[in-house]
């Protein structure tokens, strides 16, 4: 990646920051991978006999777990038996030199291991601790096991996804990703605060709270007397036209009209029916949404005379936002990603893998994107470094 004049490439921003992560599954590892990409040293503690169980979710990435390689690159894997006195003592020595400790064990497990945040910070006042939980440290759900889809259900998200006949799980781990991003930003904030105060912070993030924040729009849409949002498949629940529309070649094009100015442009320049914009059924978004089925018929009648490529060209020419529905394979070959050189290779126990650069671009600097560790790959080196 080239640098502009005056933008000398410095070291990664979190160089010198050490993170000890007693982590598993998705949420906490997703957060700490972001830190590793920024140059932090992330020491991942794994259990004997199999390690992080996300290693075994599937074998789709050259025989490795697709989940694991996605969220664990750039880390050091250390296998410790925390019920063994010597291994527990080694963890204490790691924490004495760490800047951040992250854990997402089951409810109460960290406290039983003597890793409660109050005790850790009493011994290590500069340490930033972060507990990642399913539903929080108190309340009636505090001891309830929490996995991504189950949290989505409790937060009401699954009631909004799918078609009118049945709810559906979104295609990615939304609750885990939401929680992981709040862990990541919370740690960055705590590191910044420590620069001013010299003291660490005690953080906690629950997956339920993270996803609850993301449920803000449906909550406010219904909380003050509005009707519940209906499941609407691939269509928007409150904006019209916004969704997929069939074309003459059998393909579908997604389009979105966000305001009345765009609606007029769609009628005049794409549908070639300028009078339609003044039809009382479609006078504003509320009316269009109430008559969405009729509007869909009108749009698809027009699109039937064109291929999907032709429809996209018409929409682009009129300044109407649109998209083609791509498969994952088509996404992987997306011309935008190729043109912007977004793909990089990184090592793994199964050989080189291809992944995307992190979304935040910093002029003159590129993310570290280190290797995916084998189970216990760094145990011997850590024991030697920390005197075990």
| Residue range 74-101, pLDDT digits in tens | 999 999 999 999 999 999 999 999 999 9
Q: What's the pLDDT at 138?
A: 92
Q: What local confidence, expressed as pLDDT, does residue 34 receive?
A: 97
Q: Please give the model's pTM, rounded to 2 decimal places.
A: 0.91
Q: Tell whether the model's pLDDT for residue 320 goes beyond 80.
A: yes
Q: Which CATH architecture has domain 242-325?
A: 2-Layer Sandwich (3.30)
Residue 376: its H or E element: none
The pLDDT score that the predictor gives to residue 7 is 41
Q: In the structure encoding, which two tokens stand for residue 37, read together?
A: 């990409």
pLDDT in tens, 199-214: 999 999 999 999 999 9
pLDDT at 230 over 90: no
Q: How many residues does the chain have?
A: 388
Return all residues near 229 (Cβ < 8 A) that are at least 6 apart. 160, 218, 221, 222, 237, 238
Average pLDDT over residues 339-366: 95
**pLDDT score of 237 more than 60:** yes
The C-alpha atoms of residue 120 and residue 129 are separated, in whole angstroms, by 8
Torsion of CA 233, 235, 239, 245, to 10 degrees: -160
Closest CA to 238 of 251, 253, 248, 226: 226
What pLDDT shows up at residue 28?
97
- Predicted confidence at residue 9, as pLDDT, reads 52
Of 56, 124, 217, 236, the catalytic one is 236
Compute the mean pLDDT over every residue in the chain, rounded to the nearest whole number. 94
| Residue 178 CB-density burial (10 A; 0-12 exposed, 13-18 middle, 19+ buried) | buried
Q: What is the mean pLDDT of residues 53-80?
A: 97
The number of helix segments (H) and strand segments (E) in the chain equals 16, 13
Cα separation values, 302 from 7, 200, 247, 257, 294, Å: 51, 62, 8, 16, 13
**Cα(145)–Cα(168) distance, rounded to whole angstroms?**
21
pLDDT tens digits for 130-161?
A: 999 999 999 999 999 999 999 999 999 999 99
DSSP3 helix / strand / coil % (the chain, rounded to 5) = 40, 15, 45
How does DSSP classify residue 278?
G
- DSSP, collapsed to helix, strand or coil, labels residue 203 as strand
What local confidence, expressed as pLDDT, does residue 226 receive? Answer: 87
pLDDT on residue 1: 33
Can 236 be counted among the known catalytic residues? yes
Using CA atoms, how far apart are residues 14 and 34, in angstroms rounded to an integer? 10
The answer to whether residue 284 scores a pLDDT higher than 70 is yes
* Pairwise CA distance, residues 123 & 89, whole Å: 14
Distance between CA atoms of residues 174 and 197, nearest Å = 34
- Judged by DSSP in three states, 241 sits in coil
pLDDT at 294: 96
Is the model more confident about 8 or about 221? 221
For 102, list phi and psi in degrees, rounded to 5.
-120, 135
Residue with tokens 């470094």: 385
For 18-215+341-385, CATH gives 3.40.50.10540
What does the domain layout of the chain look like in residue ranges? 18-215+341-385, 242-325
Percent of the chain at pLDDT above 90?
90
C-beta separation of 146 from 155 below 8 A:
no
Span 250-268, average pLDDT: 96
Give the pairing of strands 343-346 and 353-356. Answer: antiparallel
Secondary structure of residue 196 in the 3-state scheme: helix
Q: Which pLDDT band, with edges at 50, 70 and 90, does 6 fall under?
A: very low
Instruction: Please give the pLDDT value at position 388.
Output: 59
Nearest Cα residue to 252 out of 290, 208, 197, 304: 304
Q: Is 194 exposed, middle or buried (0-12, 13-18, 19+ CB in 10 A)?
A: middle
Distance CA 356, CA 174 (A): 19
DSSP state of 231: P
Read off the pLDDT band of 5 (50, 70, 90): very low
């Amino acid at each position: 990646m080239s640098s502009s004049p005056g933008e000398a490439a410095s070291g990664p921003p979190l160089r010198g920051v050490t993170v000890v992560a007693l982590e598993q599954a998705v949420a906490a590892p997703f957060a700490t991978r972001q830190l590793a990409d920024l140059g932090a040293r992330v020491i991942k503690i794994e259990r004997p006999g199999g390690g992080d169980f996300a290693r075994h979710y599937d074998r789709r990435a050259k025989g490795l777990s697709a989940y694991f390689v996605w969220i664990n690159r750039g880390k050091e894997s250390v296998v410790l038996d925390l019920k063994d006195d010597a291994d527990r003592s080694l963890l204490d020595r790691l924490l004495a030199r760490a800047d951040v400790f992250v854990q997402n064990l089951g409810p109460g497990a960290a406290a039983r291991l003597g890793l409660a945040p109050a005790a850790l910070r009493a011994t290590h006042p500069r340490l930033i601790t972060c507990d990642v939980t399913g539903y929080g440290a108190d309340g009636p759900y505090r001891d309830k096991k929490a996995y991504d889809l189950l949290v989505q259900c409790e937060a009401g998200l699954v009631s909004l996804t799918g078609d009118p006949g049945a709810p559906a799980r979104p295609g990615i781990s939304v609750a885990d990703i939401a929680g992981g991003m709040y862990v990541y930003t919370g740690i960055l904030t705590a590191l910044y605060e420590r620069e001013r105060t010299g003291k660490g912070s005690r953080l906690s993030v629950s997956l339920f709270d993270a996803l609850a924040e993301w449920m803000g729009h449906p909550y406010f849409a219904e909380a003050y007397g509005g009707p519940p949002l209906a499941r609407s498949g691939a269509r928007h629940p409150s904006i019209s036209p916004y969704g997929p529309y069939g074309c003459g070649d059998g393909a579908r094009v997604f389009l979105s009209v966000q305001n009345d100015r765009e609606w007029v442009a769609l009628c005049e320049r794409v549908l070639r029916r300028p009078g339609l914009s003044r039809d009382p059924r479609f006078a504003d978004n509320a009316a269009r949404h109430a008559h969405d089925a009729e509007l869909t018929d009108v749009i698809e009648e027009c699109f039937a005379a064109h291929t999907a490529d032709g429809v996209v060209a018409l929409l682009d020419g009129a300044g109407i936002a649109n998209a083609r529905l791509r498969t994952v394979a088509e996404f992987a070959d997306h011309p935008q990603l190729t043109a912007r050189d977004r793909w990089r290779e990184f090592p793994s126990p199964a050989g080189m893998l291809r992944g995307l650069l992190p979304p935040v671009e910093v002029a003159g600097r590129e993310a570290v994107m280190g290797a995916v560790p084998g189970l216990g790959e760094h145990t011997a080196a850590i024991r030697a470094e920390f005197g075990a």
